[in-house]
Structure 1
Amino acid sequence: MSSYQSAQIEGIDFQHYTAAQARQLREEVERIFRDSYVDAIESGEEFESPEAFMHRFDAYTDPARAGAFELVIARIDGEPCGQAWGWPLTAKTGWWSGLQLDEGDQTEFTAENGSRTFALSEIMVRKPFTGRGIARALHDELLAARPEQRATLLVRPDNQGAYDNYRRWGWYRVSVLRPSWPDAPQFDVLMRELPVDEG
């Protein structure tokens, strides 16, 4: 039995895209970001600016390093309402740089081979569509068919709403980490085991 229990949302449709396909949707990706992070953008924080966000998106989808990047866009009656993306971590990943593991063997914990850990990088829902369970639906859609053993994501410690949701969805904290991106804040590192496909 799957551990994913998203409520059915009337009219919702999901499309999955590779890195190359995602780059063709750059304007739509930016629009969803701008409509999802209105307050963060207005804060003036450099890391949250649309320019900084799209710079990161371009790096994630760069053909030279994108690998198995996967984007999911949710649409309701054809209107984009949210998106989520991530990728499996390889042996060359920089994802764990700066990790301060709470407990356990850090070398063993960060050993990646391309099939151990899926990094869930972004989930966002446009403001007019919030409160309908779309974030959870995107989360479940992106992770449901992943073959990796576990998933990781970064969340700001003061983002209580997101933090509470992730805990309800089966995530737990293991560490703190500050990404190498310019002006990046410190995040809590959350982990979640992924269900084994018994089919």
Structure 2
Amino acid sequence: MNTPDDLEFEHLTAAQARGRGNMVEDIYRASYVDAIASGDLFDSPFEFMRRFDSYTGPRNGDRFAYVLARVRGESAGQTWGWSLPPDAAWWSGFQPDPGLAGDFTVEDGERTFALSEIMVCAGYAGQGIARAMHDELLRSRPEGRATLLVEADNSRAYQRYIQWGWRKVGHLRPDWPDAPRFDVLLRDLAD
């Protein structure tokens, strides 16, 4: 799959991304059209932006990384995440698959990057932009590994993550109102 020749990336800090909240919400609305239309409270733009405000708040400030994708100057997608701090709530409720080391969820602030969101506006879907943003964000990370959450029944995204080198390590349900249960995926970044 060939990405558009005029695909460009812009890296933003937490404060810069937060300052462009309207753009972040517009991209969300253009990417999650079906999820929003489902009426599921968790997928509502209001709840999404409430989570975004939390992600870009003081707690993640300098740990937060955001990549905006543009094609011919138009927003086409976005992705972000942050380095997990030593007291990361990310692992709360984590149910590991058999065989994981006992210290699997121990964080030191430099061990794990949490890839929180990756979305492509519907008009740009199927052009390789998600993979390009994914690679752009992760290639700049100093952590040794990355983690993400994916709904088990989201077969399209799940299949892509596996193709991109991710593997399932367990599941959890985040402490957000109406949050679904997610599978937890992991990818080594040292390679």
Deviation of the 1:85 alpha carbon: 0.1
Tell me whether 1:12 sits opposite 2:7 in the alignment: yes
Tell me whether 1:91 sits opposite 2:86 in the alignment: yes
Classify the secondary structure of the residue corresponding to 1:119.
strand
Q: Tell whether the 8 Å contact from 2:96 to 2:171 is kept in structure 1 after alignment.
A: yes
User: 2:50: which partner in 1?
Assistant: 55
Tell me whether 1:190 sits opposite 2:185 in the alignment: yes
Answer with 96-105 or 72-81: which moved more: 96-105
1: distance between equivalents of 2:132 and 2:146? 16
Which of residues 123, 139, 151 in structure 2 aligns to 1:144? 139
Q: Tell whether the 8 Å contact from 1:33 to 1:50 is kept in structure 2 after alignment.
A: yes
Output aligned runs, 1:111-122, within 5 Å: 111-122=106-117
> What is the identity percentage for the equivalent residue pairs of Structure 1 and Structure 2?
56
Q: Tell whether the 8 Å contact from 1:20 to 1:63 is kept in structure 2 after alignment.
A: no
Deviation of the 1:102 alpha carbon: 0.7
Pick closer, same or farther for the CA change 1:172–1:64 going to 2, 3 Å: closer
1: distance between equivalents of 2:68 and 2:60? 21
TM-score by length of structure 2 reads 0.96
Q: Tell whether the 8 Å contact from 2:67 to 2:137 is kept in structure 1 after alignment.
A: yes
The residue type paired with residue 153 of structure 1 is L
Tell me whether 1:126 sits opposite 2:121 in the alignment: yes
Answer with 100-109 or 133-142: which moved more: 100-109
The residue type paired with residue 40 of structure 2 is E
1: distance between equivalents of 2:150 and 2:102? 22
Deviation of the 1:143 alpha carbon: 0.1
User: 1:103: which partner in 2?
Assistant: 98
TM-score by length of structure 1 reads 0.92
Deviation of the 1:105 alpha carbon: 5.0
Q: Tell whether the 8 Å contact from 1:68 to 1:88 is kept in structure 2 after alignment.
A: yes
Q: Tell whether the 8 Å contact from 1:175 to 1:190 is kept in structure 2 after alignment.
A: yes
Structure 1 runs of 4+ aligned residues shifted over 6 Å read none
Q: Tell whether the 8 Å contact from 1:16 to 1:71 is kept in structure 2 after alignment.
A: yes
The residue type paired with residue 24 of structure 2 is V
2: distance between equivalents of 1:91 and 1:142? 22
Q: Tell whether the 8 Å contact from 1:30 to 1:50 is kept in structure 2 after alignment.
A: yes
Classify the secondary structure of the residue corresponding to 2:28.
helix
Which structure 2 residue ranges, 5 or more long, are not aligned? none
Deviation of the 1:92 alpha carbon: 1.4
Pick closer, same or farther for the CA change 1:98–1:134 going to 2, 3 Å: same
Which of residues 33, 38, 44 in structure 1 aligns to 2:33? 38
Q: Tell whether the 8 Å contact from 2:64 to 2:80 is kept in structure 1 after alignment.
A: yes
CA RMSD of aligned residues (A): 1.3
Q: Tell whether the 8 Å contact from 2:2 to 2:127 is kept in structure 1 after alignment.
A: no
Which of residues 54, 69, 76 in structure 1 aligns to 2:71? 76
Which structure 1 residue ranges, 5 or more long, are not aligned? 1-5
Answer with 30-39 or 62-71: which moved more: 62-71
